[in-house]
Amino acid sequence: MITIDGVVGVGKSTLMNIMVEEMGYTPFQEPVVNNPILDRFYYDRERYSFPLQVFFLNERFKHIKNASKIEKAVLDRSIYGDVIFAKMLNDAGEMSNEEFGIYKDLFANMIEHCQAPALMIYLEASTEEAVRRITNRGRSYELDTEIAYWERLNKEYRQYFEEYEASPVLKINVDNLDFENNPEDKEYVLSLIREEIARLKLDDENK
């Protein structure tokens, strides 16, 4: 089970689809398409922050449970990075302390029943590059979001993955990579992933 994480717009879904096509993984997509709350959240964060985070937490819990039963699964974001968004909302006063407390308790209960991924792929990008990709993607609720939000999010992501210890991490800076359209960049990223998987298997054999 491999998880791909990183800030909004960094290329998680694209890399997941490449791994499905090139490496035979089974995909678990981020629950944004049939999400009944996401659009409304971006226009009224204080009202919808808690139900949105609980929705994501529940969906990611289901994903990681199902993915752990499959030999080769790849997840577009996971339950581990989800807490970043809840913390940010609480810090900004858009999720109350009481709601954040409930969220953390629920998260702690769920994480006890989650199998950690064999590998966490963290796609790192500058805020400028992430915003450029978000603009190109063109989702209206993302385009209306202030730059300061994306700056805070990127800062929280970098800090979170400096301290993350639940599984091995492969960090890939994608500022100058276009693995969606450039075959050389795609093969470069795939080679990094294959090498890390091979190294982890060797480590397991030596234990």
Binding residues for substrate, as ranges, are: 30, 42, 53, 77, 82, 142
Strand partners of residue 74: 2, 27
Q: Is the pLDDT of residue 48 over 90?
A: yes
pLDDT tens for each residue of 160-203 = 999 999 999 999 999 999 999 999 999 999 999 999 999 998 66
41, 175 Cβ separation under 8 angstroms: no
Point out the catalytic residue in the list 39, 76, 91, 175. 76
- What pLDDT score does 143 carry? 61
Stated pTM of the model: 0.88
What is the mean predicted confidence (pLDDT) over 16-42?
Answer: 87
Name the token pair of 39: 């659009």
User: 56 versus 8: which is more confidently predicted?
Assistant: 56
- What pLDDT score does 203 carry? 67
95, 89 Cβ separation under 8 angstroms: yes
- What pLDDT score does 130 carry? 81
What is the mean predicted confidence (pLDDT) over 14-36?
Answer: 88
Distance CA(49)–CA(142), nearest Å, equals: 15
Please list, in sequence order, all residues whose beta carbon lies within 8 angstroms of the beta carbon of residue 14, skipping any fewer than 6 positions away: 179, 180
Where does the pLDDT of residue 52 fall: very low under 50, low under 70, confident under 90, or very high at 90 and above? very high
User: Tell me, which fold does domain 2-206 have in CATH?
Assistant: Rossmann fold (3.40.50)
Whether 76 sits among the annotated catalytic residues: the reply is yes
Binding residues, as ranges, are: 6-14, 30, 42, 53, 77, 82, 133-137, 142, 177-179
pLDDT tens for each residue of 108-164 = 999 999 889 999 999 999 888 888 877 777 666 666 677 888 888 889 999 999 999
**Domains in the chain: boundaries:** 2-206
E strand spans, the chain = 2-6, 26-28, 73-76, 119-124, 169-173
